[in-house]
Chains A and B, each alone.
Chain A
Amino acid sequence: MSETLDKPALNIVGTRPIRPDGADKVTGRAAYGADHSMPGQLVGKILRSPHAHARIVSIDTSKARAVPGVKAIITASDFPDLASEVLEGGEQASNLRDLSLNVMARDKALYHGHAVAAVAAASSEAADEALARIKVTYEVLPHVLDVEPAMAADAPLLHAHLFTEGLEAKATAPSNIAKRHRNVRGDPEGAFAAAEVTVEGRYTTQAVHQGYIEPHATVAAWAEDGRCEVWSSSQGQFMVRTYCARILGIEISDIRVTPAEIGGGFGGKTTVYLEPVALALSRASGHPVKIVMSREDVFRATGPTSGSVMHVKLGASADGTITSAHVDLKFQAGAFPGSPVGAACMTALACYDIANFSIVGWDVVTNTPKVAAYRAPGAPIAAFAVESAMDELARKLGMDPIALREKNAVRNGTKAAYGPTFQNIGYLETLAAIRDSEHYKSPLGPNQGRGVAVGFWFNVGGESTAAVNIGEDGSAVVVTGNPDIGGSRASMAMMAAETLGVPVDRVRPIIGDTASIGYSMLTGGSRTTFATGMAVVQAAEKVILDLRQRTAKLWDVSLDHVVWRMGQAECTDPAKPDKKPMTLAALAAQSARTGGPISAQVSLNAQGAGPGFGVHLCDLEVDPETGHVTVVRYTAAQDVGKAIHPAYVEGQIQGGVAQGVGWALNEAYIFDRQGLMENPGFLDYRMPVASDLPMLDTIMVEVPNPAHPFGAKGVGEVPIVPPLAAVANALRGAIGVRIPHLPLSPPVVLEALDSKAE
């Protein structure tokens, strides 16, 4: 299964060394968002709307200002009133005005938990007291939480100036529908009419949160000369810098952002909530300000990803060739436009080669928190519907679910449903890995079911910078601009060590602040090992070229006669047989005499990220008395290109599976009739715990990506795409009826069992 590129054998890439930041992370020394303090810092806290939709009539802060210890109170009037403008820089483009209004509500509060004011005080108690004394007068408005009611003509309108984009005829009246996406190929209606077998279903999912264990946290200081320092936990320090500058109307050159260790993100930390507020409070108070969210704040005011209502119809000939597909996706965006429905439309049929299809997506605003990216944004939701429909089609055709997928699979040269032509993909190999697995051939026990589902994610490249600095002892420091969420320091160090030909422990990777390393897009889109890794390798190659040039001068030979092999320069000039190889350490020791310090930096915009495919196999068991579902065995296969550090690749796959299983079985935002989230804590928002899961088996399929020096493809997002449907399909197998709505919680399963019995 594994093949190598036309390169020398690898010594480090593909091994499992201990991560370079490991000791700090097992001893409690690693400093996350809330672990940093600045001298003289104040406590910042945010007042949040108690209504799902309300006009802010007035805010009276006079009584709050009188609380001893209160140093500053701010509202939206302390931020510039920005015009609508599309801003690149996050995981997906954002509207600057919406970003700003989400950080602090101006005229209307658009969801329960929307920030309306903030205080900075000398103590937490004083800050709480001040929050209680801020008097906000609201005019409560009707609200709408769910996607289909929000699309109704008589729905409460969130934004008076929102006109649907993407319609054939220009929208004449405002609505909650921000955009319609549409992609049609061939003649889907004609093909349905001719289809021998069709399946059709309506599927729904609820909003779910990324669920990172570390709440958002920041400490920020606005100095008297206008220079700003920000320490925060995010997926990108450069993203924080751009967003803060634009939201506050200041220069990026006045802001330095230091990335804290990040306690999980999964896309949810690709935007700002606290940093501009802390800066504004610091400006108003003259002190550094620290703000840490509570878990309740995290649930009410950050994340989640969309709830959805979907419709899928598939048509096929009797031999299993899918001839037509229709996919309709309605996604909740939360308070501002920008659900991941666009990506969902692009990924929905990406695994299939279908001649005729129509895909329509609807981006709909609702009085719920503005959605944020969540691991392969949109793809798991669409895959839940499409892969459930595929399972129904396999049943109707009497076909093995993998055989059906193999028959309709995209392969190299297939024009993807979303446009480009696939090259160097390992989808068929990944399907074969599951088909041939011992797991797939194993028998099931009583009350058990087995489900198969596949998933796709683009993976991205983008802008990255890396520097390699050689110490006088021949060690190397690798500096990048990408926060390490899941062990990327290890892969950076390994790729640098492999390229330089030195042991991995001779390379120390660090993550620079925004003033210490060139621009890098945030850690997201499964881009870091691919794109930033490419910059690291190129910087190391630049160092090697420099070392060869220095050696050529020392030896008085041409550059062509100096080769770099296993961490040392070797002379290949037959006229100079006496030249002994020179190690990196030896060359570093005399760098002053050969041209000065040895160092290189590379900035690039990486292209050619290889798309990723995953095939998942889930066995579960249903307790017929309670409806409780237990996943008893799980195998996930994925084309990873080349696993740089296989243990962390396995970890990405296992983590994605666990999140997907939680999404399938238990997780959901539950709102009361007033639009108040009823389960804003880990007790009631039930993420998987250790006793909920079995060991999670992984199969890494390696079909190399020629655009990457070692063949890597992004791996972090694909594994959350298939599990929702893999679990749902397994449940269908176990109980004999399809439940097309997530989550598949015990009461829902029990109801299905009861209805079946009737």
Chain B
Amino acid sequence: MSKTHVTTTVNGDTAEFLASPGMTLLDALRDELGLTGAKEGCGSGDCGACSVMLDGRLVCSCLVLAPEVEGRRVETIEGMAQGGQLHPLQQKFLEHAALQCGFCTPGLLVASKALLDANPDPTETEARYWLAGNLCRCTGYDKIIRAVMDAAAELRQERTA
């Protein structure tokens, strides 16, 4: 079968690639565009390590077929730090030691940013349920949740300042 030409926007820039049948957005990002920040932990939408934003919605990129992103807007972990500055979530993850092996971290950061975009003042329970689709096997989630709550507080302060 022939490949499909796909034009899309990734982290603000136009990107083009050829998609073979069955190629997922995750495959396209990793193998065609060289963006290996999104990880494949399961390939079935259960672990969240491949989380990206598609037109402002949080998705598992392993469950999106690559041609589906034609003409749409994809944001990945590689676009989170801006102008050489870490996003407050990234900074708080480091300050709180919210990662150990770091494999789930890109997905958790993308999902956490989606949470705070949708709900700038989540309760701990809301944060835990929002992030329930992102598996972490190292941390027990304690420091991740603290980092997210702390980043949320800082972002709220930035907004009111």
Contacts and interface: CB of A to CB of B under 8 A. Distances in A.
B96 interface: yes
A27 B128 contact: no
B8 interface: no
A654 B143 CA distance: 9
A34 interface: yes
A213 B41 contact: yes
Contact of A264 (B43, B80, B86, B103): B103
Contact of B137 (A19, A27, A687, A696): A687
B142 A654 contact: yes
A681 B42 contact: yes
Contacts of A261: 101-103
A-B pairs, top 8 by smallest CB distance, nearest first, are A28-B37, A263-B103, A658-B140, A25-B102, A654-B140, A647-B97, A682-B46, A28-B77
B127 interface: yes
Contacts of B46: 681-683
B143 A657 contact: no
Interface in A660-694: 681-683, 687-693
A295 B43 contact: yes
A555 interface: no
Contacts of A35: 30, 36
A263 B39 contact: yes
B144 to A, nearest CB: 7
A16 B141 contact: no
Q: A-side binding surface: helix, strand, loop or mixed?
A: loop
A28 B137 contact: no
B43 to A, nearest CB: 6
Contacts of B100: 264, 485-487, 648, 651-652, 655
Contacts of B145: 690, 695
23 contacts: A18-B94, A26-B105, A28-B38, A28-B78, A29-B37, A212-B137, A214-B103, A486-B100, A486-B101, A486-B138, A650-B143, A657-B140, A658-B139, A682-B41, A682-B44, A682-B47, A683-B44, A683-B46, A688-B141, A689-B131, A690-B129, A691-B128, A693-B142
Contacts of A262: 101
A21 B144 CA distance: 17
Contacts of B40: 34, 215, 292
Interface string B90-106: 10011111011111111
Interface of B: 20, 22, 30, 35-44, 46-47, 49, 76-78, 80-81, 86, 90, 93-97, 99-106, 109, 124-125, 127-129, 131-146
Contacts of A651: 97, 100, 138-140, 143
Contact of B42 (A292, A658, A682): A682
A263 B142 contact: no
A125 interface: yes
Given A26-B90, A28-B76, A690 B101 contact: no
Residue of A213, A215, A292 with most chain B CB atoms under a 10 A cut-off: A213
A565 B82 CA distance: 41
A689 B104 CA distance: 12
A238 interface: no
A695 B96 CA distance: 14
A30 interface: yes
A125 B19 CA distance: 13
Q: B-side binding surface: helix, strand, loop or mixed?
A: loop
Contact of A30 (B102, B131, B132, B133): B102
Given A18-B95, A212-B103, 8 more contacts: A18-B94, A213-B101, A263-B102, A486-B138, A645-B97, A689-B135, A689-B141, A691-B132
Contacts of A656: 140
Given A681-B44, A695-B142, A689 B137 contact: no
Interface of A: 16, 18-19, 21-23, 25-32, 34-35, 123, 125, 210-215, 261-266, 292, 294-295, 485-487, 645, 647-648, 650-652, 654-659, 681-683, 687-693, 695-696
B42 A689 contact: no
Contacts of B143: 647, 650-651, 654
A206 B29 CA distance: 38
B78 to A, nearest CB: 5
Contacts of B36: 28, 31, 34-35
B86 A23 contact: yes
A618 to B, nearest CB: 13
A213 B93 contact: no
B138 A264 contact: yes
A634 B141 CA distance: 13
A213 B39 contact: yes
Given A28-B35, A214-B101, A682-B46, A689 B133 contact: yes
Nearest to A649: B97
Contact of B20 (A18, A125, A210, A292): A125
Nearest to A484: B101
A682 B96 CA distance: 27
A16 B125 CA distance: 27
Contacts of B44: 295, 681-683
A445 B124 CA distance: 21
A214 B133 contact: no
Contact of B109 (A26, A295, A648): A26
A646 to B, nearest CB: 9
Contacts of B43: 294-295
